Every structure is written in structure tokens, then in C-alpha cells.
Amino acid sequence: MIRAVSLFSNVGIAETYLGDLNIHVAVANELIPQRAAFYKHLYPTTEMIVGDITDPSIYSEVISAARKEKVDLLIATPPCQGMSIAGEMNPYDERNSLIKYAIDAILDLKPTYVLIENVPQQLTTPITYENKEITIPEYIEKRIGAFYNINQNKVLDAMDYGVPQMRRRAIILCVEKGTGIIWEFPEKEKEIVTLSKVFSGIPDIWPNVKEKEFRDILPKNTEEVLAFNKWHRPMTHVWRNIECMLYTPTGNTAYDNSVHYPKKTNGERVKGYDTAYHRMFWDKPGTTITTYNFRIGSQNNVHPGKPWKKDANGDMMYTNPRVLTIYELLVVSSLPVDWHIPEWATDNLIRTVIGEGIPPLLIKKIIAQIV
């Protein structure tokens, strides 16, 4: 059995399938208590240390526990909000420097294997080292390059490894030089898994309408549909957003609609990127799931939909004018559809942590090589 330590753990999405590989995450660290409780619910045998790793006492506690457990694999997924195109894209966001604590932990623990994961922008993000500004990969090379073999190709896309989601990630793989092992990405798989395949059998579901005066326009969800799965429940959206998506075909944005385009409360046209108010494609994997997956007006969040019927003017309307349900998010993220979500977790928390988590099937396939 390989024993691991997980830093910046979120709720442990990356760790979902590690048990299949006979890997036990013995120690984990997460800043936010609510997420740490979620993690502990999923992995009750893991020692969860809650707190800020930049606090010397917390860092010392993590290192002491990991040493005691004799961990041989370190997984680190530092926050990406400062670098992500879905975030602030601030190269000087203080969270970008949290990688330093992961590297400190590597030097203190000397694990045989290391996996560091983040957004591709990490590879060009500046960091200060010895009073000089260098990129994060250069920083990692300078600090641990003498002790570890580091992979050459550092960017991959989850959709190339059986995950029904287009999600590019920067993943740095390190192996202690004494092993002689070079750890690179697996070969890309030939089959691209599309939404048409993974959404087959999932019933259409209509969104809840916030405004009472518009609630009778859409069909009611049947008891059979609502009984499909406890997490296949529609979100509530305002009618003006539902309406513009009701007239938007698969793979298109409502910005292209001549009449039913995104509107403000006063009826004025909303301006924005054409990736917003956008339906996904049936013949492609899902688009990158972000923490804003609850918003119709955010990036590529809307269900692909199907032709439904024509209105009185002869304009075609389409089903599923809504964001993905939590059940569909589980599917697109390669999480188990029976994921052991704690009963106390709110929909907002579940959606946020899924949006921040890396598809666990991808992690399983990468780590399977060293096992």
C-alpha cells in the first residue's frame, strides 16, 4: 500500500478512486472547516488537519503527522483563483504563492512521488525567489530539481482520458531520482466520450421559475422524472434567462438570437462574451465545469437541449433551458453518481467544490502508472 498526504485538499475529489489503486491518503490538510468536514465524511480514516498551511503551527502539524504515517506520495492542488481564466487572472494574487508551502513539504518529507495540479496558467505565472521573478515551473526546478525527475509535458486535457469534460490542467509529476523512474502522462485514449453518450437515459427536466407569473408557461416535471435520482433536481432561474435559452439551439449562445437575447430587468440587451448564455454540444464532451456552474449567464453552463415545439410565431423552442443538475455534474466530472455526499451539504457547496475539483478518473489513470 502507498500512503499519501494531500495538501489544499478541498473535499477530496482528486482522491475518489485512489482506494482502487491500494493508495491510502493518511493525512490531509484543508483551510475551510466546512470542506474539511465534507472530506472527513468521505474519508473517515484520514487524519484531517484543518487550518491555514501558512500558519507555522498548522504546517508543523501536517509535516509531523505525515512523517508519522511514512507517506510516500504527496498530492498538492493549490488554489487557482488568481490564475484561472474563470477567476481574477491576477498574476500577483497571494494565493499563487501557496505553491511554496507544497515545495517546503516535499523537501521536509522527501516522498518518492509528487503530483502537483493546477490550471495551465500556472506554468507562466510569476513568483519571487531569491529576490528575482521567475515562473512557477522554474521555481519548482530550482528548489527540487536536484532531487526529483520532473515530467517534460505538463499540460493535458481530461477529455483525452475518458472524462466527458473538456478540462485542461497543468500537472507536474515528480519522482525521486534514486528510483530511476521517469513519470510522464499516459498515452491519449482514442475514444472521446461525449455528452450524447453519458447523458443517455437521463430524463429531461424543466427549471423552476422564480417569478410566480411565469410558472405556468413551462411543463411540470413528472413524478417519474423527479424520482430518477435525488440529485437530478432543477435549479431556479429567473424567467428572462430561461426564456432566452428556451429559444437557443444546441451548441449556440443566446447572444445570437434576434429577439430572445439575454436581457436586463429593464429589457436592455446584456453585453458579454459569447461563451455566456451558451448551450453545450451533444457531440462533444461537456465544457469545463467552473464554480459558477449554477449561472445560466456564466461560461458554457447550459444543457444541450433538444427541439421541443414551435411557438405561435413559428419559432422553435428547445428543452432543458437550464444549467446542469448536480447529478449531471457528477457524470461530467467522472465522479460516482452515488457519491457519498453528506446530507448537510448545501447545493451551493456541492456545486462549488465540484467546480474546483479535478476529474478523479484522470488522476486515477495518471497515478495508476506508478502503482
Q: Which helix (H) or strand (E) segment is 58 a member of?
A: helix 56-69
The residue-averaged pLDDT of 91-106 equals 77
Q: Residue 317: beta bridge partners?
A: 309
CATH code given to domain 2-187+359-367 = 3.40.50.150
For the chain, which residues make up each domain, given as ranges?
2-187+359-367
Nearest Cα to 103, choosing from 165, 150, 57, 70? Answer: 150
From the list 80, 163, 175, 367, the catalytic residue is 80
Q: Given this model, what pLDDT does residue 367 score? A: 98
58-63 average pLDDT score: 98
**Residues 358, 118: Cα–Cα separation, whole Å:** 9
Band of residue 125 on the pLDDT scale cut at 50, 70, 90: confident
- What would the pLDDT profile of 155-204 be if each residue is shown by its tens digit? 999 999 999 999 999 999 999 999 999 999 999 999 999 999 999 999 99
Q: Do 156 and 163 contact (CB within 8 A), yes or no?
A: no
What is the pTM (predicted TM-score) of this model? 0.94
Model pLDDT, residue 190: 96
Active site residue 174: no
Mean pLDDT over all residues of the chain?
94
| CA separation for the pair 30, 352 (Å, rounded) | 15
Residue 353 has what pLDDT? 97
